[in-house]
Amino acid sequence: MFTLKYDSFDKIKNSIIARVILFACVMILIGGLTRYYLSVNTIHSNLFKIISIHQEALANEAAKEITHDIDVRKTLLSHIASRMPLGLLESPSQLQRWLGELHGFNPLFSSALFVLNEEGSLIAGTGSELLEGEKAYASDDFFKRAFTHEFVIGTLKVSKRLNEPVLSMAMPIKDALGHVRAIVVGMTYYDATFFNRVLNGRIGKTGGFLLIDAKQQIFIAAANKELILKPTPPKGKNLLHDKALEGFRGSDITINTDGIEELSAIASIPNTDWFVVSRIQTKEAFAMEGNIKTTLIQAHIISLIIAPTILFLFLFFFFRPLRTSASLANKMSLGEVPLKPLPIKRMDEVGYLTVAFNRLMAMLLASQKELKEIAHYDYLTKLPNRFLMVDRLEQALARCARNNTHVALFFMDLDGFKAINDSLGHSAGDEALVEVAKRFSALIRESDTLARVGGDEFVMVLSDLDSDLASATNAAHLVARKCIEALKEPFLFQGNAKILGVSIGMAMGDKESRVDTLIVEADTKMYKAKNAIHSNFTE
């Protein structure tokens, strides 16, 4: 008897509840990891977009302020250049007073405001950063460009007097014919009214602004005053800075020269080679992302605890009837209790399964005898199959030993059967086999056996033949000829007449014979008969 024994671990390991809960945990874990990955990526992407927009807005706002600071000074210089009487160029004292009054009314240039003649010598001016003397400014490249351009912004320099950065701007003074007669120059210190956003603006705790001259590759202004007038990082130290020098404008993440990751945005200053950088460390910019990640992980851990617990309680009570039925069925299979229908608690899927099991058990008990018989008969012709034929042959040989009689064994193979199958189909072939079985059955006694052992192969066992071998052989020959004659009458299939033949191999047995030997002998003779030209019967 086949039995199964389980210890506690095996019961848990093989339990449907355990597997379902494990599957649920795996699915929750996979789902959680997927949601976490997608959520983090989406959150990071959206945060990057939002913060980038904010940084770009700050950079553009700072650029607008710087542009405004330059434009108001450019407007003042333009006003001076266009309104100043050219006669004042010949009267330095009057020009000095005129500039002083104008500068006192609108003091945009905190360092100096002055006028230079064509030779680069100071005519008149006001402020602390004035160089007096003949052709004091003549060698300055800024001075040379001022005479050939409408408006010039000079290179940032450090004041010799106050040791402060000072920025120069200049515009030519022209006569009615458009000839340059002089230039007006304004110089500005960095103070609360100039580059204020870049110098003093902060972005969070770690961020700020930079103003960079792309042509000179120096820092013009920065919240960190130590950077002013210092060269920008060499190529390769800050990849985003390298892109900015090549013309990139927008925002991206980069690693600065200190090895700190930053989110930076870049905006140009119109009509200059300058650009503004608003920057903030990504650690601060994306601080919210860390909180969201922590919250997602906590939520997934909680769901990984709560969901399997609830599922376990549900499945434990849901499968209680199934566990009861399984336990009872196991005891019945072990013979510990008699066979009886399993109890039905409720008509759900488990109830339907129990009803089906009970019905199946009743059917199996009722058809047990029938199944045993079916196992020994051919399903199509209802003749005995090979297993039952062998059993009958063994019984016939046993009677030969008791009664000193003989037995004849025929192996018969139909001739022309394949043509019927191929031309008329398998249904016609089945009809032919049934008809052949009927014709052969009519030729034998009740004590004899006719069996179908293959597709178109039949075996006939003639038992209890005469003790005299010659007489028994003659009787067997007579039956063989009858079998051949029985198939000469045409078979009708779907209006078509077909002729079948049969090749027969015969073996005679007595009390000394063995089943295997007889079968091999008859089978061999049958193949010889099938291959013979003038005979389809071999004894």
Q: Output the six-digit token pair for 355.
A: 């009803």
Q: Taking CA 180 as the corner, what is the angle to CA 177 and CA 184, rounded to the nearest 5 degrees?
A: 130
In this predicted structure, what is the pLDDT of residue 307?
Answer: 81
> How many beta carbons lie within 10 A of that of residue 429, not counting itself?
22
In this predicted structure, what is the pLDDT of residue 3?
Answer: 44
Half-sphere exposure of 421 (CA within 13 A, CB side): 11
Q: What is the DSSP string of 143-197?
A: HHHHTTSS-EE---EE-TTT--EEEEEEEEEE-TTS-EEEEEEEEEE--TTSSHH
One digit per residue, the tens of pLDDT, for the chain of length 539 reads: 344 444 566 666 667 777 788 888 888 888 778 877 777 788 778 888 888 899 999 999 999 998 988 898 899 999 988 888 998 999 999 998 998 888 777 788 888 899 999 888 899 998 887 888 888 888 878 888 888 888 898 877 887 777 788 888 999 999 888 899 999 999 888 765 678 888 888 888 888 899 999 988 999 888 888 888 889 999 988 999 999 999 999 999 999 888 899 999 999 998 888 999 999 998 888 887 778 778 878 887 888 888 888 877 877 777 777 777 777 877 777 777 777 777 877 777 667 777 877 887 777 777 766 766 677 888 899 999 999 999 999 999 999 999 999 999 999 999 988 888 888 888 888 999 999 999 999 999 999 999 999 889 999 999 999 999 999 999 999 999 999 999 999 988 877 888 899 999 999 999 899 999 999 999 999 999 888 765 566 66
In this predicted structure, what is the pLDDT of residue 2?
Answer: 41
Q: Where in the sequence of the chain do the CATH 3.30.70.270 domains occur?
A: 374-538
Q: Is 353 helix (H, G, I), strand (E, B) or coil?
A: helix
Answer yes or no: are the C-beta atoms of 296 and 35 closer than 8 Å. Answer: yes
In this predicted structure, what is the pLDDT of residue 439?
Answer: 93
Dist. CA 54–CA 48, nearest whole Å:
10
> How many beta carbons lie within 10 A of that of residue 421, not counting itself?
16
Q: Where in the sequence of the chain do the CATH 3.30.450.20 domains occur?
A: 84-189
Catalytic residue flag (residue 456): yes
Q: Which of 135, 108, 116 is nearest to 193 (CA)?
A: 108
Dist. CA 481–CA 116, nearest whole Å:
144
* 13-36 burial: b if 16+ Cβ within 10 Å, else e: eebebeebbeebeeebeeebeeee
Q: Which residues are CB-contacts of 14 (< 8 A; sequence separation ≥ 6)?
A: 6
- Predicted model pTM: 0.53
Q: Output the six-digit token pair for 284.
A: 């601060």
Q: What is the DSSP string of 26-94?
A: HHHHHHHHHHHHHHHHHHHHHHHHHHHHHHHHHHHHHHHHHHHHHHHHHHHHHHHHHHS-GGGGG-HHH
What topology does CATH give the domain 84-189? Beta-Lactamase (3.30.450)
Dist. CA 198–CA 212, nearest whole Å:
11
Q: Is 341 helix (H, G, I), strand (E, B) or coil?
A: coil
> How many beta carbons lie within 10 A of that of residue 326, not counting itself?
13
* 371-402 burial: b if 16+ Cβ within 10 Å, else e: eeeeeebbeebebbbbebbbebbeebbeebee
Dist. CA 40–CA 292, nearest whole Å:
8
Q: Which helix (DSSP H) or strand (DSSP E) does residue 265 occupy?
A: strand 261-268
What topology does CATH give the domain 374-538? Alpha-Beta Plaits (3.30.70)
SS3 letters across 275-301: EEEEEEEHHHHCHHHHHHHHHHHHHHH
Q: Taking CA 362 as the corner, what is the angle to CA 357 and CA 365, rounded to the nearest 5 degrees?
A: 120
Answer yes or no: are the C-beta atoms of 429 and 498 closer than 8 Å. Answer: no
Q: Taking CA 274 as the corner, what is the angle to CA 147 and CA 82, rounded to the nearest 5 degrees?
A: 35
Q: Which residues are CB-contacts of 65 (< 8 A; sequence separation ≥ 6)?
A: 196, 197
Tokens 């139909």 found at: 414
Dist. CA 467–CA 113, nearest whole Å:
151
Q: Taking CA 265 as the corner, what is the angle to CA 261 and CA 266, rounded to the nearest 5 degrees?
A: 125
- Kindly name the residue from 273, 348, 456, 466 that is annotated as catalytic: 456
Q: Which residues are CB-contacts of 241 (< 8 A; sequence separation ≥ 6)?
A: 232, 233, 254
Q: Which helix (DSSP H) or strand (DSSP E) does residue 524 occupy?
A: helix 515-531
Half-sphere exposure of 62 (CA within 13 A, CB side): 33
In this predicted structure, what is the pLDDT of residue 368?
Answer: 65
Alpha-helical regions (H) of 237-382: 239-245, 282-285, 287-318, 320-333, 349-366, 368-374
Dist. CA 116–CA 172, nearest whole Å:
10
Answer yes or no: are the C-beta atoms of 133 and 121 closer than 8 Å. Answer: yes
**Torsion of Cα atoms, 408 then 413 then 416 then 417, to 10°:** 120
In this predicted structure, what is the pLDDT of residue 300?
Answer: 79
Q: Is 333 helix (H, G, I), strand (E, B) or coil?
A: helix
Dist. CA 477–CA 192, nearest whole Å:
133
